[in-house]
Structure 1
Amino acid sequence: MLDVDSQKPPKGKWSTPPFDPRFPNQNQTRNCYQNFLDYHRCVKRMSRRGKSAQPCEYYFRVFHSLCPRSWVSRPRGRRRPAGGARVEGPVQLSRRPPPPRPPAPPQVQRWTEQIQEGTFAGKI
């Protein structure tokens, strides 16, 4: 049987996370979420103890490789910093305004007018 050190990837190389028997299925959404939670719990616990968060890097790398980029790169919103200090004031999230709606085709405009006039041929 292989020892734990031989199962670790070499420093600087990380292809995929190792198999986790808690999540044997193809859908790895729960695995992603669990590693996300474990990472933040680890960081919180280490900051309370005044130690380095270096051991938490494993969870960070796993959830970054399992989770879709849109989940990982999204701003965190109102999440507190690792030290637990409250952030003063509202948190501003940068959002782009929705693109302008294209004008309705002439048929739709005509149907709308007919509905308002009560002359629409269909059943409403």
Structure 2
Amino acid sequence: MAEDINTKMKNYKTAPFDSRFSNQNQTRNCWQNYLDFHCCEKAVTTKGGDVSVCEWWHVYKSLCPISWVWAWDDRRAEGTFPGKI
């Protein structure tokens, strides 16, 4: 059991420091990283490239509450998402 925890801790990754969002409130950081990831994904897909180059943008998954991500994904699917992607 301890080995599993140690392995998980070794492989744990979270969002790196971003000087644009130095406050404790990381809401804007979450939002911006969500937009950046999906913009990257859209641009690479449009050009027929490999989406794995956008992999590092997944930091929004460690910053954003999952309920927000689900709601934003639903809105993107419906075409009512308020952000520019």
| Aligned twin of 2:21 | 23
Counterparts of 1:78 and 1:26, CA distance in 2: 27
TM-score, normalised via structure 1 length: 0.49
Counterparts of 2:32 and 2:75, CA distance in 1: 20
Higher relative contact order (CA 8 A, sep 6+): 2
Match of 2:52 among 51, 54, 67: 54
Distance 1:70 1:78, change over 3 A: closer
**Cα-to-partner distance string for 1:5-51 (whole Å, 9 max, x where unaligned):** xxxxxxx9233211001100000000000000000100111011110
- 5+ residue gaps, structure 2, are 1-9, 79-85
Say if 2:62 is the partner of 1:70: no
TM-score, normalised via structure 2 length: 0.69
Q: CA deviation at 1:59?
A: 1.0
Larger radius of gyration: 1
- 5+ residue gaps, structure 1, are 1-11, 81-90, 92-124
Percent identical:
49
